[in-house]
Chains A and B, each alone.
Chain A
C-alpha cells in the first residue's frame, strides 16, 4: 500500500516537474517580440525623461496648482498593485485557502515589479533627482514623505524575501533538473538554491521563516498604502481631508491587485500552456474573491463621497460638483460604473467567472483603478483653499504632456519587462508546494 502510494506520488511529481519547468527549457523562446515592444516603449520613455532632465519639469503640464500630476497618480496605482503580494503570500496562505497556492509566485513577482517601478516613478517626479540623497540625509522624521521612503524600502525588501524563500526548493529542482540550461542560468540556480537538499532541518527553518514573513508582511503591506494615503490626507486640499482615506486606499489596492492577478493568470496560462494548473476553477475562485474585494471598496467609496456630498461645504462642495457634474464627471462615472459596479454585477454570475469574461472584467477594473487615482490626485489640486490671485489660466487645467505619457507608459512597460524576465527565469507556479499539496507529503519527509 505504501509502495503503491509512493509510486503514484512519483508519477504525479514527475508530471508536475515536467509541466512547470517546461517554459524554462532553453529551446522555449517565449515572448521575444513582446520583450522587443516593451523595450521600444521604455526607450521612448527614457528619451522623454532625458528631455525632462535637460529642460526641467516645464516639459510636463504640472504647474503651481497641479504640482502632483500623472506621475503621482501612477505611483499610487503601482503601490496599490504591489499589495497583491501580501494578499496571496500572506492573507490567503494564513487563512488556509490552499486553492490560491498556484498564484503565490505570480503575485510575488508582480508585487516586486510594481514596487520597483513605483520607486522609480517617485524619482522621476523630482525636478532635481540628484538631490534625492538629501531626502535621506536631511529628511524630517515628522514628514509622511519620509515614512513613505522608509516603508517602500522595507516592503521591497520583504517582497524580495517572500519571493526568494518560497523559491529556494524550486531553485534546487531547477539546479538538479535543468542540466541543459545556459551556463549563467545554471550558475544562478546553483548559487541561489543555497545548497538546498530538503533535509528536515532545512525544511524546519524554511517553514519557520516563511511563516514569520507571512505574518510580518501584513502590517507592512497595510502600512505602505496607508502611509501613501497619508501623503494626501495630511495635505490640506478638498477631497483629501478624510479619516476614511487609509482603508479606502488599502481596499482599492487589494481589488486592483486581484484584477492584475486575473490578467496575469490568463496570459501566463495561455503563453506557457498551464491550463492544468491555472484552471477554470481557479478563475472561479478569483472571481468570487474579486466580488468580495469590490464590495468592500464600494462600501468605502460610498463613505468617501456621501459625507462631503451631503454637506457641500465651500471648496469641498465645488470639488464634489466638479466630480459629479463638472469637467471630470464623465471620467468619474465611467470609473464608478465600469470599474466598480459592473464587475460586481458580472462576477456574481457563474458565466462571468470564466477565463475570458474575467480577463475583460480585470482590464476594466485596472483601467478604473488607474483613472480613479487620477481623479483622487488631480481635481483636488485644482481647488486650493488659498487660490492665487489672477492666476495664469494654464494653472487651472491639467492635461499631461507627451513626455508624461511616455514616461508613464514606460513605467508599465518596465513593470511588464521585470515580470517577463522573472517568468522566463523562475518556475511561475511553486513546484515544491504543488507536489506537496496534491501528490502527498514531500518524499524526503515521508521516507
Chain B
C-alpha cells in the first residue's frame, strides 16, 4: 500500500514537473548553414549558426558544432568548431582529410548541433561534387585575358562542359579580395567564360598580382578557387618609412629635433630635481 502511494505521488510530481522544468519549451530553435570552400592548398567547411531569440533568428555564439563526412558516425568525425560572436566558425581539413577528400567524386558533409540546456539539436548536410576549373591567362594584342573552362569528368573519364556556372574574378588584397570585371560571369554551353583583365591595378614592387578565379556558393560544387601569381600589375615603389627618421618610424629612427628637445627637457627638469635633493643632504649635514 505504502509503495503504491509513493509511486502515485512520484507520478503526480513528475507530471507537474513539466510545468516547472526550464528545459524543453525554453530551448531555442536553431538554424545551421554549411558551406564548402576548396582550392589547391586547402578545403574548409564554414558553419553559420542562428538561434531564435525574441522571435528573430540572431547569430549564436559559443555553439559547438560537430562536422562529419559521409555519415554521422564517430569514425567519420572530421572535427568540431565553436562559433564566434558572429555565429560563424570555420573548420580546415587536416592534410590527411584534404588528401582523402580530393580523391572523392561526390562528398557529403554534415554539421550537427547536439541539444543542450539552451538550444534544440539540429543537423544539416551538403553534397560537394568534384569539378574541373581550368584557367588560362593570355595576353592578346596587349590585352590581358582570362579564359575559364568548367567541366566535370564522368565515370568513363570523359569531360562534360558545365553551363550556367557563376564565376567571380578577384585580386588578393591585404584586407579582403578586390572584385574585378563584371559582377556576374556565367559559363556558356561549352563551359567557357572569359574576362578582360584591367591593366591599371597596382601590384607589388615587381608588379605581381595574385588573381583568384572562383565558383562561389554553387549548389553542386560549393565554393572552388583557382589562384595564380602573375605579373599583370603595375610595380609600386615602396618607401620604407620605418627606416626614415619620422614621427611614425621605429624608436631608433625618431627625428633628431624631437630627441634633442625631449632629452633636453628631461635633463633640465631632472637636473634641478637632483640639485634640490643634493641641497637636502646639505641641510642635513649643516644640522649635525
A positions within 8 Å CB-CB of B = 138-142, 147, 150, 154, 157-158, 161, 165, 168, 194-197, 199, 201-202, 205-206, 208-209, 212-213, 216, 220, 390, 392, 394
Contact = CB atoms under 8 A, between A and B. Distances in A.
Contacts of B259: 141
Given A140-B254, A195-B287, A206-B283, 19 more contacts: A140-B251, A142-B246, A142-B248, A142-B249, A142-B255, A154-B266, A154-B269, A158-B269, A165-B276, A165-B280, A194-B280, A194-B284, A195-B286, A195-B288, A201-B286, A209-B280, A216-B269, A220-B269, A392-B86
B197 to A, nearest CB: 27
Interface residues of B, number: 30
Nearest to A195: B287
A212 B282 contact: no
B266 A150 contact: yes
Interface in B28-69: none
B272 A196 contact: no
A199 B248 contact: no
Contacts of A147: 262
Contacts of B228: none
B287 to A, nearest CB: 3
Q: Main SS of chain A's interface residues?
A: helix
Interface in B246-283: 246-251, 254-255, 258-259, 262, 266, 269-270, 272-273, 275-277, 279-280, 282-283
A158 B286 contact: no
Given A158-B273, A202-B286, A202-B287, A141 B280 contact: no
A154 B270 contact: yes
Contacts of A212: 272, 275-276
Contacts of A205: 279, 282-283, 286
Nearest to B247: A142
B14 interface: no
B118 interface: no
B276 A209 contact: yes
B276 A213 contact: yes
Q: Which of B272, B283, B285, B287 has the most CB of A within 10 A?
A: B283
Nearest to A208: B279
B268 to A, nearest CB: 9
A161 B86 CA distance: 54
10 contacts: A139-B251, A141-B259, A142-B246, A161-B277, A168-B283, A195-B285, A199-B287, A205-B283, A209-B276, A216-B269
Contacts of B286: 195, 199, 201-202, 205
B97 interface: no
A209 B279 contact: yes
Nearest to A215: B272
Nearest to A234: B247
Contacts of B255: 142
B85 interface: yes
B179 to A, nearest CB: 15
Contacts of B275: 212
Given A140-B251, A154-B270, A194 B283 contact: yes
B287 A197 contact: yes
B251 A138 contact: yes
A147 B258 CA distance: 12
A205 B278 CA distance: 11
A196 B280 CA distance: 10
A216 B287 contact: no
A194 B248 CA distance: 48
B284 A142 contact: no
Leading 4 A-B pairs by shortest Cβ distance: A195-B287, A194-B284, A140-B251, A209-B276
Q: Which of A140, A168, A199, A208 has the most CB of B within 10 A?
A: A140
Q: Which of A141, A147, A161 has the most CB of B within 10 A?
A: A141
Contact of A194 (B247, B270, B287): B287
Nearest to B281: A194
A147 B285 CA distance: 36
Nearest to A199: B286
Q: Which of B246, B282, B285 has the most CB of A within 10 A?
A: B282
A390 B87 CA distance: 12
Contacts of B254: 140-142
